[in-house]
Amino acid sequence: MSPQLRRNLLVLLIAVLSVSLKSVTAEEEEWCIADEQTGDAELQMALDWACGRGGADCSKIQRNKECFLPNTLKDHASYAFNSYYQKYKHKGATCYFNSAALVTSLNPSHGRCKYEYFP
C-alpha cells in the first residue's frame, strides 16, 4: 500500500470516528410541557396525578416559590409534567399524560424558574 493511500485512509478513518463520537455524545435535550390545546379539566386531572401518585416534585409551583408565577394551570402542569418526566424517563416513563403533554427541545425555564433536565 502506498504511503499516500495509507495517509488518505487514516484521514478518512479519523473523520468517520469523529462524526460517530459526536452523534453519540450530542444527545438532544428534551423537556415535557403541557399541550396548549388540552382543556383545563384534562390538564387539572393530569397535574393532580403528576403531583400525587406520579411522584413529581411540585414544591416549586407552590405559592411564593420560584415557579409559582405565572400562576396558570398550563404553567403549573408544564412544570409538574417535566418533573415527572425527568425523574422517571430512564425507567420507561413517557411525556404523555393522556395526550395533555408533549416533548420540546426548547428549554421552558424562565426567570428564577429552572426546569430540570437530566441527561
Domain ranges of the chain: 27-104
**11 backbone φψ class: left, alpha, beta (φ>0; ψ -120 to 50):** alpha
pLDDT at 5: 64
Burial class (CB in 10 A: 0-12, 13-18, 19+), 45: middle
pLDDT beyond 90 at 35 = yes
State pLDDT tens for residues 48-87. 999 999 999 999 999 999 999 999 999 999 999 999 999 9
Model pLDDT, residue 23: 46
pLDDT at 15: 57
Q: What is the pTM of this model?
A: 0.78
